[in-house]
Structure 1
Amino acid sequence: MSTDYQIGRDSDEEFTYRGHTLEELREMELAEFAELLPARKRRSIKRGLTNEQQKLLEKANGRGEEESANDPLRTHLRDMPILPQFVEKTFAVYDGQEFERVYVEPEMLGHYLGEFVLTRTSVEHGQAGIGATRSSKFVPLK
């Protein structure tokens, strides 16, 4: 893997995303940052953020880290790309039943918020009993 596209950091190194530090990314315009993203995220930003996504971005820009940790930003926008302004902030993302907390770290840049909140849980079925199908009708209840 070439160093141009290296994402992440070693234990002592500063975080870089495709050769840019987090401070540089925060100073970039949205269209300029979009050029660094993978194709699907770049296309969604180039087509323009929805009104709801714009509001979420404005709310995230107006919050400090201390305020964000105590009272996370609640959102249903699972398709919102994670931008440099979201780093070190906490979001409460809706999973279909409840809001799950997500603390955004630099390594999450370029992903969607919904990728970090699962919508499906594992199902553990009980034993067959009264009202079950015909094949399991004769399973003893004791």
Structure 2
Amino acid sequence: MVSKQSKQSGRLPKRKEEFTYRGLTIAEMKKLDMNQVAALLPARQRRKIKREFGEEHQKLLDAVKAGETTIKTHLRDMIILPEMVGVTFEIHTGKEWKAVETTPEMVGHYLGEFALTRHSVSHGSAGIGATRGSKYVPLK
């Protein structure tokens, strides 16, 4: 049944669908083993998984599998895997920790993509005495 408001505007109401990654839901992806998940990912991520994760990466995966909900990490190069969905990571930016909650849309990306290390700078106006012309501005 279409509501009156959407009928008047000529558009159908937005339908909320379950997220799929290359035709698979997150629940289906969690059932796959690591090699099958790697086959779905882009080439760079697939190569990293085939060459196996390092010791630190394995510790992070073990913490995720243990059921921890908040994990602090320096591993900005860790690939977000389906079992990481729903976990909050505190990612180090070099100066501070940024809390990032993983969503299904993040699968296949790196943790570092969601905790930026550089910020845009917006400069204010020049102060008194900053330029030669500001010497003659009345101070009121």
Q: Normalising to structure 1: TM-score of the pair?
A: 0.76
The corresponding residue for 1:37 is 41
Q: CA deviation at 1:32?
A: 1.1
| Contact 1:129 1:137 survives alignment (8 Å) | no
Matched, 1:16 2:14: no
Correspondence for 1:115 among 95, 113, 116: 113
Distance in 2 separating the partners of 1:13 and 1:101: 26
Q: CA deviation at 1:11?
A: 3.6
- For the aligned residues, what is the CA RMSD? 2.1
Q: CA deviation at 1:119?
A: 0.7
Distance in 2 separating the partners of 1:77 and 1:84: 17
Q: CA deviation at 1:22?
A: 1.1
Structure 1 residue matching 2:72: 3-state secondary structure: strand
Q: CA deviation at 1:82?
A: 0.2
Distance in 2 separating the partners of 1:80 and 1:129: 48
Distance in 1 separating the partners of 2:28 and 2:128: 62
Change (3 A) 1:56 1:129: farther
Change (3 A) 1:120 1:26: same
Equivalent residue runs for 1:1-142 within 5 Å: 11-63=15-67, 68=69, 72-125=70-123, 127=126, 140=135
- C-alpha distance after superposition, 1:41-95 (max 9, x if no partner): 111111110110100000011115xxx1xxx200011100000110011000011
Distance in 2 separating the partners of 1:40 and 1:124: 35
| Contact 1:93 1:114 survives alignment (8 Å) | yes
Q: Which amino acid aligns with 1:109?
A: V
Distance in 1 separating the partners of 2:15 and 2:111: 25
The corresponding residue for 2:7 is none
Distance in 2 separating the partners of 1:45 and 1:30: 8
Count of matched residue pairs: 123
Distance in 2 separating the partners of 1:129 and 1:12: 55
- Which is greater in Rg? 2
Structure 2 residue matching 1:107: 3-state secondary structure: helix
Segments of structure 1 that go 5 or more residues without pairing to the other structure are: 1-9
Q: CA deviation at 1:19?
A: 1.2
